[in-house]
Chains A and B, each alone.
Chain A
Amino acid sequence: MSGGAREEVRGGLEAHLARLWRYALSLSGARDVAEDLVQATCVRAIERADQFQLGTRLDRWLFSILRSIWLNESRARRVRAGQGVLDASEALSVDGAHQIETNISAAQVLRAIGALPSAQRETVLLVYVEGYSYREAAELLGAPIGTVMSRLAAARETLTRSHETKDA
């Protein structure tokens, strides 16, 4: 019954804010954009709460909403600006590092992650951090499983190399 879905969405949003923000930040690379993106996601989720399927994972549903808003937004921005989407890597690494300078190692890894191509960065977050299976990630990303596999292997390779270089 839709009333149950509404309640589950309205009551469940708060618990996912931080993770939605982290996903938004790795997509957009800008903290203020990430916050707005989370807000837009909440608003849309509240509007469309009736469409949420009870018994499925709310966080996954919210992630897919956030992603589609981001894609539409960045598409619109690209059209308006007549240029590429804004570069996530700088902001993610700099902002991330700035906020958590006490954690040098995390800051260094974030900088390396920030330098990854955006598709790799997103896939890494979904699979390594958010626990998506390859199939689930492929579904969300609208890409073949082989692509997910290749992105992860490439990202792993880059992150491994940057770590070794740093240690050398």
Chain B
Amino acid sequence: MATSDNDDRKLSAYLDGELGEAERTTLETRLAGDPGLRARLEALRAAADRTRAAFAALLETAPVAEMRSRLDTALADAPARAASPWRRRVVAIAAVVAIGAFAAGVGAGRWSVESSNFAERDDWRQAVVEYMALYAPESFGEAPSPQLADQLASLSRRLGAPLDVDRLKVDDLSPRRAELLQYDGAPLGQIGYLDGATPVAFCILRDGEPDAALAAAARDGFAFASWAQGGRGFMLIGKIPIERLTTLARALKEKTG
């Protein structure tokens, strides 16, 4: 028996469990008394069942192995941690500094830290280490930046820590420039020094990490010291003797704590 398009719509929605209460009751009453409508219902039901079966068969032919291998490549290409603005910045700086370094005949340091040296929360420290390897003495300028006081005031606000030229003077070193960067959305301040002709960087990340005592390590000519207090992580790094770096770090910790 022929049914109207409207009946088909209703029967179809009924089969899909998508008919409202009132409409469903009305339709069920009609179905009870109309064999033609019932037959139509069954015919339409079968169409959906056949569709499901056909698509299930199609699923069996999916090139899963190929897709899995391409997925593995995509996962390997994209690091598990979100690409941070910091990383992008490192790349940009690497390009600029590498040119400067070669021009100066210094050569960018080849140095990398195995990730096992750092806990997960220390990723930013690893980023700093990689970044530092690209620094040349010229990176921190011939003379202290004329905007240093302003730069430090801005850093103080963002990091919630009092930073000024006096506080950041340690031993015979004076800060030369200060920069605000970010790592994974957290403000990262970097204060640059020159110890003789060697760049030394003091970095502060406001990331809420738990307090940690000062610890120092040396590797491949680099020395670094790190600690955390008051929800901020600190790091001092440079290619200077570890004893010297540790002394400077202790002084900085005292003055900025």
User: Chain A: residues with CB nearer than 8 A to chain B?
Assistant: 2, 6-7, 10, 13-14, 17-19, 21-22, 25, 31, 35, 38-39, 42-43, 46-47, 49-50, 96, 99-100, 103, 105-107, 109-110, 113, 124-125, 127-129, 133-134, 149-150, 152-153, 155-157, 159-160, 163-164
Contact = CB atoms under 8 A, between A and B. Distances in A.
A46 B61 contact: no
B57 interface: yes
A18 B18 contact: no
B82 A6 contact: yes
A18 B59 contact: yes
Interface of B: 5, 8-9, 11-13, 16, 18, 43-44, 46-48, 50-64, 66-68, 70-71, 74-75, 78, 80-82
Nearest to B7: A153
A160 B46 contact: yes
Given A14-B71, A18-B62, A6 B80 contact: yes
B44 A156 contact: yes
A124 B46 CA distance: 13
Contacts of A13: 71, 75
A100 B58 CA distance: 7
**Majority-rule SS of B interface residues:** helix
A21 B63 contact: yes
B82 A50 contact: yes
Contacts of A152: 12-13, 16
Nearest first, the 5 closest Cβ-Cβ pairs linking A and B are A106-B57, A109-B54, A18-B62, A99-B61, A159-B47
Highest count of chain A CB atoms <10 Å: which of B47, B50, B75: B47
Contact of A106 (B5, B18, B58, B71): B58
A159 B62 CA distance: 24
Contact of B9 (A14, A105, A113, A149): A149
A147 B82 CA distance: 40
Contacts of B55: 22, 110, 113, 125, 128-129
